[in-house]
Amino acid sequence: ISRVGLQLKTHLPIETEYLQLTIKSIENEFIKIKGKVIYTKMLEPDIFHIGVNFIESEAEAHHFVVNLVKKYNLQKTADNIP
């Protein structure tokens, strides 16, 4: 994940040019961001890496990334993942 996009790991390729990602923040707020699929790479027959560039404003992308990282860190702590 970066301030301009992220990489998804999926079991199926994403066959659309644009998508919307939604997360639920630790404050239970739904945060959405639109993205453009920039590549699909098959790693194995049922594993794909999908590159997504955010197409929202820099402020909206920053808000999404910060909340995604906070949620990840909270979950990581709850699951005792190093």
- Tell me what pLDDT residue 71 has: 86
CA 15 to chain CA centroid, Å, is 16
Closest CA to 9 of 56, 42, 54, 31: 42
**What is the per-residue pLDDT across 37-77, written as a single tens digit (0 to 9) for each?**
999 999 999 999 999 999 988 899 999 998 888 888 887 77
- Tell me what pLDDT residue 26 has: 85
Token pair, residue 13, equals 């390729």
Q: Looking at the DSSP assignment, which residues form a beta bridge with residue 53? A: 5, 36
Helices vs. strands in the chain: H and E counts, helices first:
1, 4
pTM of this structure: 0.81
